[in-house]
Structure 1
């Protein structure tokens, strides 16, 4: 559900510019303050109470003209597949989308009871509607009146915080119950050896520094939004001259002395103080420590599970089995775990599941332990059983395990909507570095796809670099080329994307040859360098090169879409029929069936078949008549097609349609009504005897007066065609309706 939330015309009120509270450097941003507090709001709320919103109204005429050009839409959405908390009946996630037509850097952080969202570019936001759509998690939003920046303050429940992702240039905030924390913590390097000691944060593409006054505290914040996704400060840092709180995105500096400056340079952010910061060597050592995966909870220590040399698998397994057999029954659980882990690390995933199944059958409580769930979930994941894996890793026993969070996100990413899982996968991705390469690389590839789907090019490159360090095989190099192509396409570098797709297409891996060719042709078609006919020809080749999985399914569905666009409905329907047959037990077979029904409805209910020749229209109808829906919709389809066939004198074909309708589809009064239509077709085709027989066979005592009169006139006309004039006149009786009088006159005239 997506609701437009930015449709506000900035008012014409002009408010004079005011100077900042205290002199700053050139970074000090020009801002406009309204009367009184400087912020216009629906109501000044107490924290966490009520639902209110503030709308910025102090905008000059010049800004109004600029907004007319760059006006865009802020949308709020509760994801369609978002789960609902069973205790509160609230959605598990609320998403707010801020679209931009140009790159904008962002910062997201908390201070006191407020959540701040800051962009280094300006746009007017309809915060009243925004807060309504953010309910129940967002109870108050205001936009501070700044000329060059978009600054939003929100009130949410204390445990509700956003994560950030992007779709193209658009920023998306996903609110859920999580701690405030970035995916990647920016290093804070204390440069004590410089003449004027300062702090340096190595993050590229930082935005303009935004100096904003906190309305509650009255002090100034230096906010440096950044474009790299989910780069922020963690943990919070405190120095003699300034504080740096935790951020989900960007950097915030809170000065504690005069002369504090922060600015984004080409390769990073510098934080300085007039005369140099008060830094010691000890502080520098602490500040330069990287978090990595330090402190993360791990339960799958896969690298420690190998016993002996991998080449001696059989001998090592027999030794573990002998040791297991020598133990008393009550002491076998740990030995079985050791054997199951050994099977896993040697890629015997079915054997691993078999051992776990035996353990669960003998001791049911073991199934609720973290070790059991994690190992079974990992085995299911490696066997591509993603739903089972996600269920295992979602078990309460793994709630505090960071690597379980990664595996759960990876399983869900493979089930669909990978972009929603990117944040967790990137945040915990360092945990897979120690995994064996045969486990690490498939997980890293899933991470790449999730990061690309979320628009996080830095995260995608991080997973790609992890694969590159593993001395990749030919297939893995092809995967890198293909993923690089998807990444380049996502970031808008289309020519570079085409080059990467061609490299994958020319690789030694059949899988990535197919994927590279498919995506290269699709992109060329979008760019206008490949015709739709050539695209169809290429996809027809691909469907025979790669069979039996989601790739073939997607190609078949795409071909049916292209054939439909080309108005080759027969080819589209036949492909979809093949798809439903090939994937009749697949999870997406309903997509193909629904698309067939949709095309058929478009043809015979909404009039698309009128563009086809009558012969083609009736041929397709008969070939796919199983798609005729039950009830009134299907009857209307048959009626429309029969009427068209009558207009082009294909009377026998029209009669066949109506005969089947009478025989198999309708009863009662509807049967009498359709029988009258069939009798008329017989009369037009000079078959009066069949017309009379049909009318007699479809009589119904509950028919309306008008329908009975129509049926008598048809029978009288048929009797006239058979030169049974007296019977015809007698049948019409004393009916004085205009149509009956006209028919009676015509019969007398023909009788002479």
Structure 2
């Protein structure tokens, strides 16, 4: 009978009141028009059962544990079922306080939330805020509970001080928790039996973690000798007093009778004691700490285990272990609680691992950075770290990993103008890795009209190379239309594609003057033009080329190749052309861009085919 009765009462309790029809809610009523430029009016939530906030504020405040008077569930449910209108909120309030007195925080919070929905003004009442804070604390949400308990009107409230001390101790703020004890003492003394145990245990924990074991023992003396939570902090207090044997016994008793969390805490405390006494080696301690962290995560116990793991890993020069434990502390706990040099130390260790002078292979260094990239310093220091690692990856031929690394830098760290040169670099690496599509994507996602002309031209050159490698040569040449010196790049693309007619036309107007010594680049340009003419069978043009440049090639290492190509033999032998190509200087008129173009496939007809 209880369950249907409870469901019925809950339905009555949460049923909305009838809507209020006003002139503005009529179907044909004109809508209110705000003045131009004025902010939209903010309408506060409408109270469905208004008035109880003022009534509750006038009632005696919640200052002692007696406010959580327990009511039998049957009586509370009957009161809820019979209540209507204004009295319903009072019945809910009585029931919520009873649930807190029983330690049923989640149910109490549910009732309080329904009350708040029906009367939002309740959030301005100190007693209501105190009840919410207590309910959240009972739900193991101490940080949320402390936020509710920090209302200005609760500063000197003994009951609020008791709950604040408990929530602060449970969130690791030991000194702040102890600062609440004097205010909370009347409420602590008024508690009897099991209801006082969590509060006294919290105060004892705060004393232990504040380095005050004598104070902790005085509070723990008020708790039963067999209580596992009390024995846990007795053991830690004994450690602080230098009584290792007594501490060991208390921890062993916790292992026998405590909850899972208490047993893990006792095990960790024993490890901490053995490390401090020097009876456990760092290596053995790290193995035991790994076992603790494997089975227990997410609270102050894991934080302590991580902190000790980090310290021991640093002492044993275990870079991977230090970064692993340190990164977890950095990501999931407050870095400010780990010491003033904690973050700087982590960043220094990451930088040392990525240093070119370190013995770590570059591929492992890249993996290490990728796993711990959130630890990298901000600003120029972090940018330099990434750029240096990218250069090492590129030098090692790991183009795809270098591209992925710098692409993360491009889209996560770089902003505005800084994206210009970096986007060209990322696109170049994608091309070298055989991914021209991703190169185009990186360039198009970072278009910015405020780039200076030189930067725009550099991006367009790389874009043209990427377009040529996916077969869009016409689009590539269109991109290069207004780029200075684009003829050299167009010629390089045509050379790569074995487009002999296009190459002959493109290079004819850019051949160097025959006077003076020819550089390697000039020799390569002339010989490529000659090869294009030879492949096209333009013997007359080859004769003119011979007459023009024959004297300049005399005595050069490439003279035999020039003679082979420009000799009038009646027909062109592809084998001669192939030998001439092999004799070309190992340079390109396109400079660094030639490497990008060479990374793509040869799409034209091979020589001799």
- With normalisation by structure 1, the TM-score equals 0.43
1:188-210, Cα deviation, whole Å (9 max, x unpaired): xxxxxxxxxxxxxxxxxxxxxxx
Cα distance in 2 for partners of 1:621, 1:328 equals: 64
1:375-433, Cα deviation, whole Å (9 max, x unpaired): 33222222223234323333344344223223223323333422123132145335323
Do the aligned partners of 2:63 and 2:157 also contact (CA within 8 Å) in 1? no
Do the aligned partners of 1:605 and 1:640 also contact (CA within 8 Å) in 2? no
Stretch of structure 1 that moved more, 325-334 or 539-548: 325-334
- 1:302 matches 2:65: yes
Q: Which has the larger radius of gyration?
A: 2
Structure with greater helix share of residues: 2
Q: In structure 2, the residue corresponding to 1:443 is in which secondary structure?
A: helix
Cα distance in 1 for partners of 2:431, 2:107 equals: 70
Kindly state the Cα deviation for residue 639 of structure 1 after the two structures are TM-superposed.
Answer: 4.2
1:697 corresponds to which residue?
465
Do the aligned partners of 1:504 and 1:516 also contact (CA within 8 Å) in 2? no
* Change beyond 3 A, Cα 1:400–1:664: closer
1:321 corresponds to which residue?
77
- 1:514 matches 2:274: no
Do the aligned partners of 2:387 and 2:406 also contact (CA within 8 Å) in 1? no
1:330-360, Cα deviation, whole Å (9 max, x unpaired): 4555544433332222222233233333444
* Change beyond 3 A, Cα 1:617–1:606: closer
Cα distance in 1 for partners of 2:321, 2:376 equals: 18
Structure with greater strand share of residues: 1
1:487-543, Cα deviation, whole Å (9 max, x unpaired): 34445x263575366435643323233112212223322333222211110011112
Q: Aligned to 1:611, which of 353, 359, 375?
A: 359
1:700-711 to structure 2, matched below 5 A, reads: none
* Change beyond 3 A, Cα 1:461–1:576: closer
1:640 corresponds to which residue?
388
Q: In structure 2, the residue corresponding to 1:381 is in which secondary structure?
A: helix
Q: Aligned to 1:378, which of 130, 134, 149?
A: 134
* Change beyond 3 A, Cα 1:607–1:751: farther
* Change beyond 3 A, Cα 1:674–1:732: farther
1:144-196, Cα deviation, whole Å (9 max, x unpaired): xxxxxxxxxxxxxxxxxxxxxxxxxxxxxxxxxxxxxxxxxxxxxxxxxxxxx
* Change beyond 3 A, Cα 1:406–1:662: closer
* Change beyond 3 A, Cα 1:629–1:432: closer
- 5+ residue gaps, structure 2: 1-59, 411-418, 435-460, 467-475, 497-505, 525-552, 561-609
1:486 corresponds to which residue?
236
- With normalisation by structure 2, the TM-score equals 0.51
1:299-352, Cα deviation, whole Å (9 max, x unpaired): 354357555xxxxx8xx3213433555567445555444333322222222332
Cα distance in 2 for partners of 1:745, 1:426 equals: 92
1:297-446 to structure 2, matched below 5 A, reads: 299-303=62-66, 316-323=72-79, 325-326=81-82, 329-331=85-87, 334-426=90-182, 428-446=184-202
- 5+ residue gaps, structure 1: 1-296, 308-312, 683-692, 720-726, 735-739
Q: How many residues align?
A: 411
Cα RMSD (Å)? 5.7
1:95-106 to structure 2, matched below 5 A, reads: none
Do the aligned partners of 2:376 and 2:382 also contact (CA within 8 Å) in 1? yes
1:494-505 to structure 2, matched below 5 A, reads: 495=244, 499=248, 502-503=251-252
1:627-678, Cα deviation, whole Å (9 max, x unpaired): 889986666445433554677xx43x2x334455687766644566788999
* Change beyond 3 A, Cα 1:621–1:388: closer
Cα distance in 1 for partners of 2:123, 2:422 equals: 60
1:431-485, Cα deviation, whole Å (9 max, x unpaired): 3233244431111111112223334444322321222xxx455xx2x32332123
Do the aligned partners of 1:433 and 1:466 also contact (CA within 8 Å) in 2? no
* Change beyond 3 A, Cα 1:731–1:564: farther
Cα distance in 2 for partners of 1:367, 1:625 equals: 42
- 1:544 matches 2:288: no
Do the aligned partners of 1:302 and 1:436 also contact (CA within 8 Å) in 2? no
Kindly state the Cα deviation for residue 589 of structure 1 after the two structures are TM-superposed.
Answer: 10
1:578-617 to structure 2, matched below 5 A, reads: 598=346, 602-603=350-351, 607=355, 610-617=358-365
2:548 corresponds to which residue?
none
**Structure number with higher relative contact order (C-alpha < 8 Å, ≥ 6 residues apart):** 1
